[in-house]
Amino acid sequence: MSGRRDVILYARDIVKVYDGQVIALNGVSLDVERGEVVVVVGPSGCGKSTLLRCLNGLEGIQEGSISFEGEEIPSDDMPWHVVRQRIGMVFQSYELFAHLDVLDNLLLGPVKVQGVPRGTAARRAGELLYRVGLLERARAYPRQLSGGQKQRVAIVRALMMNPELLLLDEITASLDPEMVREVLDVVLELAADGMTMVIVTHEMSFARAIADRVVFMDAGRVVETASPADFFDRPSSERARQFLNTFTFDR
């Protein structure tokens, strides 16, 4: 990434306070370059997921600013409902509609929100389902899918809107260990294809494998930003060293 500064998203001095007293984010700044994978790690409750929710307007902020493609958001030209078509998000809880089958879950956004013809959207859905190994499950309902399959469908649903940036929030946290790999492999393939992503994860080996940059947060602040090699092998802060020592993985 050296020498290239094509910043697609920039958050500056973000402050998020709950109930007027709980400071979830305390002056957080973050920039993301086009084609870059930024992985955000840190202890539970440090503000990682809150940061992602603020980046596409699911949570309001009290101070600071967020710019996307050089324009501060939200704006008259780019209100949040438009931003969310360009900044997709995948949650740990899937958020699939139980009364719709897989295909109809995937078609809902592009057809109803973007006005894409159903046939065009269905062809796109088929291509993406094939890519993640779920084409034969297109007419299955969420209750008929494993956790890993549901999460892969949730990723495809986000991709159906053709986002320029994808936010992934602890997408393996609700999965049994044997299902984690099938989801992570899909994300690794997206990274190899150049998808711009900000990923919150507790999977440290995955973070090291996929990240262009690692952002370490603690107590609502960014403590350290580094390359994967520097963060995992030579963390510069004592707090990061303490955090990494709680994991047993090959560094």
C-alpha 76: how far from its chain's center?
25
Backbone angles phi, psi at 193, to 5 degrees: -85, -5
Q: What is the pLDDT of residue 199?
A: 97
Q: Label residue 246 exposed, middle or buried (CB < 10 Å: 0-12, 13-18, 19+).
A: exposed
- Residue 4's pLDDT is 54
Tell which CATH architecture fits domain 7-244.
3-Layer(aba) Sandwich (3.40)
Show Cβ contacts of residue 108 under 8 Å, excluding neighbours closer than 6 positions.
Answer: 97, 100
Radius of gyration of the chain (CA): 18
- Answer yes or no: are the C-beta atoms of 4 and 30 closer than 8 Å: no
**Whole-angstrom distance, CA of residue 72 vs CA of residue 66:** 6
Task: Identify the sign of the CA torsion 2, 88, 91, 106.
Answer: negative
The domain locations on the chain are: 7-244
pLDDT of residue 108: 95
User: One digit per residue, pLDDT tens: the chain, 251 residues?
Assistant: 445 579 999 999 999 999 888 999 999 999 999 999 999 999 999 999 999 999 999 999 999 999 999 999 999 989 999 999 999 999 988 889 999 999 999 999 999 999 999 999 999 999 999 999 999 999 999 999 999 999 999 999 999 999 999 999 999 988 888 889 899 999 999 999 999 999 999 999 999 999 999 999 999 999 999 999 999 999 999 999 999 998 865 44
